[in-house]
Amino acid sequence: MTEPTITQPQAPVRSEGYWRTVWRNVRRNRRGMAGLIVIGLMLAVWIFSPLLATNQPIVCRYEGRWYFPAVVEVFQARRTGPQWINKARPFNLPQFDAKEQLDPDDFAIWPLIRWHEYEQSSDFLQPPSSRHWLGTDELGRDVAARMIHGTAVSVKVGFVSMGIAALIGIVLGGLAGYWGGFVDMVISRIIEIVICFPVFFLILAIMVWLEPNILNVMIVIGLTRWTGIARYTRGEFMRIKGQDYVVAAHCLGIGHGRIMFRHILPNALAPVLVSITFGIANAVLVEAGLSWLGFGVQSPDPSWGNILRTAYDSLNVAPHLVYPPCIAIFLAVLAYNLLGDALRDAIDPRLRGTT
């Protein structure tokens, strides 16, 4: 035997884990990476939106002093933020317009878009120009600024609603698949009942009763779109619970909870994750649809859906306004779908080409 003798105990070197391998495979997929980059950009735009589009400079020197009005505004806008930061005079005065009154010679770093999402001007329905990159809507608001601030809604709706849906779906699907029998029967019937409702109209009906705001949209989408995830999880749990390594875990006297979460769930998660990714794309679309119909985000708060609605209302006068929200929605949905495809291929190449 040429087995090398171990002279000193080594700390075990961990080999490449499963998720690392998946990540390596996703990285090799160009379209998936394009999707991931778009999603990353959306996240970045969401996080930095208060500094990307606002009517206050980020940093400026005014009458010999330094000010950070846009940054301070971020804290002020959040009720939970530090209350003691107040915007210094004269920036806190309503009649002070930094765009007009800041001396052009003063040092100032402006946001990319020098407009606030609610800020109205007297230029209605302008075509794109250097002053308003994507033009203005019927109230004279800068569409570019509204698009940037509307990103937050799409990002949050996707992740929060699918987070809720994933929680419900994985728990119910996991319980049904693991216990089978009566539990499975009850949960499967619940799933079938929820599936039977046409989701969009169910959401519409619920939104009539609830106050139409973004949080309710997210909750309602989450509460209605979990069935696919639940069915996926159920199937995976049923498949995996018969595997020898689960039997081995039972035989070792490991508890049910630990078996479900440590032995079955990690092996079941990959295909479920794919369906969650596709679900996010769908949630973005549903939110846009709801906002378009006026049941989602309410004006003046911007979302891609209600920007599209405003654009649609003045379609004859300013047809260019429909393009930005349409393209943004299209790109976001496409990005999530591409990422979902890439994930699916990375997880199991045999599934290529299926949904």
Partner 1 sequence: MIAEQRHLIEVADLKTHFPIRKGLLRRVVGEVKAVDGVSFRIAAGKTLGLVGESGCGKTTVGRTLLRLIPATEGRVLYSGRDVFALRNEQMRLLRRRMQLVFQDPYGSLNPRLTVENIVGEALAVHEGLSVHRRRDKVMAILEKVGLASHHAGRYPHEFSGGQRQRIGIARALALGPQFIVCDEPVSALDVSIQSQIVNLLKDLQAEMGLTYLFIAHDLAVVEHISDDVAVMYLGRIVEYASRNALYANPQHPYTRALMSAIPRPEPRRRRERIVLAGEVPSPSNPPSGCAFHPRCPLAEPRCAEEVQSLVGSASAEHRVACWKVSEENRRYCLQPRDTI
Q: Which residues bind partner 1 (CB under 8 A)?
A: 3-4, 6, 9-10, 12-15, 17-18, 243-245, 247-255, 258, 262-263, 266-267
Min separation Cβ 192 and partner 1, Å = 14
User: What distance in Å separates the CA atoms of residue 310 and residue 22, rounded to the nearest whole number?
Assistant: 42
Residue given tokens 């705001």 in the structure block: 213
Q: Cβ closer to partner 1: 24 or 131?
A: 24
Min separation Cβ 241 and partner 1, Å = 12
Q: Cβ closer to partner 1: 253 or 353?
A: 253
CA 121: distance to chain centroid?
A: 31
Kindly tell me the number of DSSP H helices and DSSP E strands found in the chain: 14, 3
Rg for the chain, CA atoms, rounded:
26
Q: Cβ closer to partner 1: 196 or 251?
A: 251
- Can you tell me whether residue 318 is helix, strand or coil? coil
Q: Cβ closer to partner 1: 36 or 270?
A: 270
Query: Is 256 within 8 Å of 333 (Cβ atoms)?
Result: no
The secondary structure of 260-285 as a DSSP string is: IIIIIHHHHHHHHHHHHHHHHHHHHH
Min separation Cβ 159 and partner 1, Å = 25
Min separation Cβ 263 and partner 1, Å = 6
The amino acid present at 287, given as its one-letter code, is E
Q: Cβ closer to partner 1: 188 or 299?
A: 188
Taken as a whole, the chain contains a residue count of 355
Residue given tokens 């089978």 in the structure block: 180
Q: Which residues of 279-293 are buried (b: 16+ CB within 10 A; e: fewer)?
A: bbbbbbbbbbbbbbe
Q: Cβ closer to partner 1: 26 or 221?
A: 26
Min separation Cβ 27 and partner 1, Å = 20
Find all residues with CB under 8 Å of 129, minimum gap 6, and list them. Answer: 135
Min separation Cβ 52 and partner 1, Å = 40
